[in-house]
Structure formats: C-alpha cells, structure tokens
Amino acid sequence: MATLRDVAKRAGASVSAVSEVLNGKGRHTIRVGQATRERIWAVAKELGYTPNPIARSLVTRKTGVLGLVFPYSGAFIDRNPFCTQVMSGVFEEVVRERYNLMLHTALGDDWSTVEESALLDPRVDGLLLVLPSPHSPVIARCLREGFPCVAIVYEPDSDDVYTVNADEFTGGRLATEHLLELGHWRIAHLVGTPGIATTEPRKQGYLAALAAAGIQADPALLVPAGFDWQNGYEAIRTLLERPSSQHPTAIFAANDLCAEGAMHALRERGLRVPEDMALVGYDDTWFATMTHPPLTSVYMPIYEMGVLAAQMLIALVEGREVADRQPVLPVRLSVRESSGPISSY
C-alpha cells in the first residue's frame, strides 16, 4: 500500500506538502502551488494511495464528520421541501470539502424531547442545527463546551451564536404589499407555528405593510395555522365558517405547504384561486410551481442557507475565522398565477 512518503518521493515534494494536499481538507496550513497540487494528485492516483481516515483522525483529532440535526425525526422522510432544500445545500458543501455527514435520526416529535448530551457526539466535529427551539439548550451547551455549532433559522440570543437566517420581515412585507397593489385590503395571514424563528418576523412584515398603506389590521384576519398542509386546510375552513361579509379577499400563508392546504379548502367551498381569493405562499421551492394554479411565493434562499451554514461550520471546525457570525440572506417575491386583482363573490 502506497504511503505519503511514496507519493512525496515520486512527486518531488515534501511529505508535509503531500499531506496538506491529500489530507488537509482545506486547512491551508501550508501553501502549495496549483501545479504541485495537480502533480501530487496524479501521482497519488497512479500509486493507488488512499488516505487512512483513522490515522488522520489520530493526528488531527478530528473525525471529518459533521452532524445535521432536524427538529423532528420525520423531517428525513416526509419530503418537506424546506428540509430537502436545506439538506441539498449542506450535502453539496460537505461533499465539496471532503467531509462526511451524520444525520441525527434518533429524535422525538420536537426539540423538547432532545437530550443535548446525545448530540454532542465524539463521532462528529460539529453540529448543524435546523430550526432549533428558542433559547436552545443544545446551543447553550455547545457554547459552554466550545463545541462548533451553527444554527439554521434561529433568533440568536448572543453575539457568540453562529446562525444563518433569511430576511423574514421583508418577506412578509413583500407578500402583503403585492396583494395590496392588486387592490386587496382585507388580507388574512395564516400565521406560522409559535416558537419557530420565521413566524413572528413574517407576521410583523405583514402588519407593517398594512400600516404603511393606512389599513388598520383586523385581529380576526390573523389566523393561527402552521407550516404543513393540514394547518392551511383547517385554518381556511375555520375562516370560512364566519359570515361572508367577514371573509378576506386575499391570503398570505405561512409557507407553501400551508398555502396548498388552503387552496384545497377553498376549492371544497367552490372558491377559485385567484378569481375569488388571491393566495401567496412562502419558501418558493420547487413545490410552488407544482400547485394548481402555480403559487405566488416569497423566495427564501433555503438551499443557499444550507451551503453557507456548512461553510461556516467547516471553518469553525478547522479553526478559521468566520467574518459574519449571523448573516441574514435577502428574499424576493416570485409572482405566479395564484395572485390576482380583487373581485367579489
């Protein structure tokens, strides 16, 4: 079996340079020119050199494995577009940087059932936490123990916490402003799940857009819902049980799954989207283009958030500086057929 010394001798390079290229995982402790890198990789391939992960971990005291944790066990199997987009972004960066990923599946229904000691696993070098609960005890323990950790969608309660978020307030405002521009003024908001970091800023963006238009918000049009199909379906059924004079003419839903559930409930009542009820969702994943009609939705850069969070965690694991500990990514509105001008029914 070829060794680092064998590769170094054939490539005409130092053993430390060969180790940096083949085992360094981008640590950049030694500067190696591109031509030398290419020669080292060519020789390694010719000799059949394979890095020994156990030997490498003994030297670096790193496993080369990152942990990805979702707030509930079903996130890995329910094909939720948000979860799959986050995973896709994380996977791309992990593969590019030659790390491995451990999916933490031994979870309960939510973060309240998770023991932080089970997540600070010696088999992983750091954690990516998706939608952790407010004032997360897992994050607090990571801070105490100096364990690398990055949260995706989390309201940080300390400057020491590393997070990746999107501009949710602007997203809620864009969705509501779009409906206002179409002539709607009775706009309902299907509010997301309490405790999720996106819920309150989206609602505040909605309220800010109404206030800027001189419209007094109607508390009856703030309908508790959530982030899945059933939440949207039930919220609309509740809303439409009221007298027709109290019905909205447009709906801003918590996310796209909630919006599709709302569509189904509207169809059951014989109402058309957008002719009888305009509808805007949130997330703008592939799912928004598959509804009937295609859904106007606020684009949340979920995939990019996964990539960035993985980049930040790898930098922490490798002891590199992270320039921005709490980046907030911009959002935009994707207009499709589900939103139209006001009409009466």
Question: 7-57 pLDDT, tens per residue?
Answer: 888 889 888 888 778 776 545 556 788 888 888 889 888 888 876 654 555
Q: What average pLDDT does the chain have? A: 88
Contact at 8 Å (CB) between 69 and 107?
Answer: yes
Residues 21 and 71 in one domain: no
pLDDT value for 345: 46
Q: Name the residue among 320, 342, 301, 27 with its Cα closest to residue 153.
A: 301
Beta 163-166 vs 126-130: how paired, if at all? Answer: unpaired
Whole-angstrom Cα distance, residue 168 to residue 192? Answer: 12
Compute the CA torsion angle 259, 264, 265, 271 (nearest 10 deg). Answer: 100
Give tens-digit pLDDT for 131-170: 998 888 889 989 998 999 999 999 998 999 999 999 999 9
What are the structure tokens assigned to 334, written together? 């994707």
Co-location of 263 and 201 in the same domain: yes
pLDDT of residue 111: 57
Q: How many helices (H) and strands (E) does the chain have?
A: 12, 12
- Upper half-sphere CA count for residue 262 (Cβ side, 13 Å): 36
Please tell me the least confidently modeled range out of 17-21, 160-164, 195-199, 269-273: 17-21
- Give residue 77's pLDDT: 65
Between 297 and 28, the more confident residue is 297
Q: Is residue 278 part of a domain?
A: yes
Q: Which domain holds residue 13?
A: 4-60
Whether residue 219 is predicted with pLDDT greater than 60 in this model: the reply is: yes
CATH number at residue 33: 1.10.260.40
**Overall number of domains in the chain:** 3
Same domain, 307 and 162: yes
Claim to verify: residue 173 and residue 279 sit in the same structural domain: yes
Residue 46 half-sphere exposure toward CB, CA atoms < 13 A: 11
Say if 144 falls within a structural domain: yes
- Residue 249 near residue 271 (C-beta atoms within 8 A): no
Between 323 and 58, residue with greater pLDDT: 323
Instruction: Count the alpha carbons within 13 Å of 270 in the hemisphere toward its beta carbon.
Output: 1
Q: Pick 340 or 78 by higher pLDDT.
A: 340
> What pTM value is reported for the model?
0.80
HEC string of 215-234 equals CCCCHHHEEECCCCHHHHHH
Same domain, 108 and 181: no
- Residue 26, pLDDT score: 47
Same domain membership, residue 231 and residue 185: yes
Mean pLDDT of 65-69: 91
State how far the Cα of 268 lies from the Cα of 264, in Å rounded to an integer.
6
Instruction: Give the tokens for residue 254.
Output: 């918590």
pLDDT attached to residue 292: 94
In this predicted structure, the answer to whether residue 121 has a pLDDT above a threshold of 70 is yes
